[in-house]
Amino acid sequence: YMVIYMPTLALVNSVAFRQMRDPALEFSRIRVWGTIGWIVAGVVISFVFAWDSREAISAGGLRNTFLMASIASLVLGLYSFTLPATAPLKAQASAGDVKQLLGLDALGLLKDRSYLVFFIASILICIPLAFYYQNANPFLAETGMTNPTAKMAIGQVSEVLFMLLLPLFIQRFGIKLALLVGMLAWALRYVLFAYGNNGDLAFMLFTGIALHGICYDFFFVSGQIYTDAKAPERFRSSAQGLITLATYGVGMLIGFWVAGQVTDHYAVDGGHEWKSIWLFPAGFALLVFVCFLFTFNGRQAVVAASKA
């Protein structure tokens, strides 16, 4: 899945950025439609087909979600052939420049200390991210919450809102604060999950879900905008591929392994010790936040780039 998803996401992002005059302002308005599609999928899975109910899961009903995704991907692939042609950028080096052909020129960004700090933080913050992707739905189901997939779409509704507000936030406060807010939101979300329940403290679970807009947009979407601002035009596509590799490749690979180990460690008969499980990524996200706070100096790179 990630072998297909990672390069596809990098390609889509790079093409989108190339078609915009001001990516810091325009990218969110385009990216938001992918989130809307996520909301539709969650509602359909829970409220239309109920594939995420306990009975359906026991009967193997979740296999239908993969079938639905494969059909949607096929339709999207066929639709892509109807899009306007996107001419490649003129090569800035000779045809024999293997480094450019392989996209390795983007590695030069890592010579910039601030970008290197951001790159490492992007990998590390994917460990808490993996906990959410892997455990949120089973956690909500074990607490007895009905239609957990559809209710998790609250996070995507939040994502739509904050994605539209993100450009204004970056213009006003800068990229560093946006990234820090995103990382701090991860820690807060998992504390809410650790101490919430499906009874009198259900509001904590829903608040944690709703924080997804800040968690994802303020770090990952801001990171894509920051990468576009830092990279020269001739290898911006490679730069988007590099940060996608760092997050959805290396970061998620490590993250899912760590999440699996922690989750298995706290497994008990008929369930899990969820409080202990959620406090681990909360503490880890807070540690990344503190390290990033004192080592990153991104200044106003995105703002400057958008005014250039």
CB atoms within 10 A of CB 170: 27
Nearest C-alpha neighbor of 187 from the set 288, 285, 289, 121: 285
Helix (H) or strand (E) holding 272: strand 271-272
| pLDDT number for residue 102 | 54
- CA–CA separation, 268 and 167 (whole Å): 44
Listed by start position, the domains of the chain span 2-48+104-307
Neighbouring-strand partners of residue 272 = 267
Q: How far apart are CA 100 and CA 243, in angstroms?
A: 17
Per-residue confidence (pLDDT) for residue 6, from 0 to 100: 43
Residue 105's closest CA among 220, 10, 231? Answer: 231
- Kindly state the helix (H) or strand (E) to which residue 268 belongs, with its residue range: strand 267-268
What pLDDT does residue 35 have? 73
Distance CA 114, CA 165 (A): 25
Residue 21 zone, left/alpha/beta (φ > 0; ψ -120 to 50; rest): alpha
Each residue's pLDDT, cut to its tens digit, for the chain (308 residues) gives 443 444 454 455 555 555 666 665 666 677 677 777 877 887 888 878 878 776 777 788 878 888 888 898 888 889 888 878 776 655 444 444 556 555 567 888 999 999 999 999 999 999 999 999 999 988 998 898 888 888 888 988 898 889 888 888 998 999 999 999 999 999 999 999 999 999 999 999 999 999 998 998 899 989 988 998 888 877 777 888 888 888 988 999 999 999 999 999 999 987 899 999 999 999 999 999 999 999 998 654 554 444 43
CATH architecture label of 2-48+104-307: Up-down Bundle (1.20)
**pTM higher than 0.85 for the full model?**
no
